[in-house]
Amino acid sequence: MKRGTVRPRPAWVSFFVAVLALGFVRAGSAGPSRVSITLSQAARPGSTARPYYEGKSLQMIVGTTPGGTTDISARLVAKHFGKHIPGNPAILVQNMGGAGGVIASNHLYNIAKRDGLTIGALLRANYLEQMVGRPEVRFDFRKFSWIGSYNSAPMMLACRTDTGYTSVEKIRAAKKPPRFGSSGSGSIGFIFGNLLEEALNFKLIPVLGYKSGRDIDLGVERGEVDCRASSDITIIRSPWPEWLEKRFMSFVVQQGPKKSRILPQEVPTIYELTSPEAKRVLDLVEVMLAYTEFDRPFAAPPDTPREQLRILRESFEKMLADPGFSADAKKLLDWDSSYLNGEQLQRKIERTLTQDAEIVKRVKEILQ
């Protein structure tokens, strides 16, 4: 280098000096300021923050035991969700069945850390347990941090053909009411069964304590119960295709007013069969069967940090748009592409649970 030539200053030195100067300028007349920018931040222009979920695991609590439709739908999400979350966390599934899903909801609400690393595949009808004031409920369904839901699934009642309970008229005429299996008083089957009793003027005997839909199916096969009240998509998984081929089960009634796309069209709806005297019960359908519009809801604990909730909600919607997820969901659950995003689900649940005292009283009368 020739004498008198100024040696160029390396780019990183210029950048670092500029950052230090900025720190002192900002201090101004307020006195000396400590610059807290580290070399890893200042000397590496263009560096980006590490995604929150990178290197972490996400725990998914499922409100039933393995094998039923809720478990299948949850494990399907566990398979696809992580690759749409920035950082690609592993997703670990933990089944926590019991009390019609209340145990899992209580756990997510009161025990799970509120750090965005625990989510729940909750039972969709648990809000009614809260509405009627069950003592075991330790949650407010409105305060969960809702991530989203996919699928809509109307309800139906089916009974073993050999029991003779093959129509509403035959159930009314029977000397002994049919028994139907259920996991608990917060389950969709229990709720639908009680609503049918009120709307159609017949009696059903609930048999509680089953851990999952698959366990109820086994109870039907063993003759412990006669009927199954469930969502229509139940019939696409084993053993239902085999049952229906052998005419082992007969459909008695479906929810309505719109008929299910996968049940036989001749199966009548509640709306078609309800007597004029019982029409007032139909006013409660929007509240008591609102859960059929959010068939597979997922939530994080209350007060999950806003940024983590935003990430989970956006990633959930991206997963639903993934052709791989869509294909699996269609195959396993006959998914019709319907869904509610997190904000829509939050509003739906808040509206459903915000009812006047008379509606709440009538719901209690049916469910208690």
Domain ranges of the chain: 57-152+294-367, 155-290
Tokens 């109820």 found at: 216
Contact 87, 52 (CB under 8 A): yes
Contact 208, 224 (CB under 8 A): no
In angstroms, the CA 303 to CA 171 distance is 47
What proportions of the chain, in percent to the nearest 5, are helix, strand and coil? 45, 15, 40
Looking at domain 155-290, its CATH superfamily turns out to be Periplasmic binding protein-like II (3.40.190.10)
Written as six digits, the tokens of 252 are: 């008695």
- Of 252, 253, 230, give the one whose Cα is nearest residue 240: 230
CA angle 238, 103, 109 (to 5 degrees): 120
pTM summary value: 0.74
**Beta strand spans in the chain (E):** 57-62, 90-95, 118-121, 145-150, 155-160, 179-181, 205-207, 227-231, 249-254, 296-300, 339-341
In angstroms, the CA 136 to CA 357 distance is 21
Q: What architecture (CATH level 2) is domain 57-152+294-367?
A: 3-Layer(aba) Sandwich (3.40)
pLDDT tens by residue, the chain, 368 residues: 444 444 555 554 454 444 444 443 344 444 433 333 333 343 344 557 899 999 999 999 999 999 888 999 999 999 999 999 999 999 999 999 988 899 999 999 999 999 999 999 999 989 999 999 999 999 999 999 999 999 988 999 999 999 999 999 999 999 999 999 998 877 888 989 999 999 999 999 999 999 888 899 999 999 999 999 999 989 988 999 999 999 999 999 999 998 998 999 999 999 999 988 787 888 788 899 999 999 999 999 999 999 999 999 999 999 999 999 999 999 998 898 999 999 999 999 999 999 989 989 989 988 87
End-to-end distance of the chain based on CA atoms, in angstroms?
94
Evaluate whether 57-152+294-367 and 155-290 have a shared fold. Answer: yes
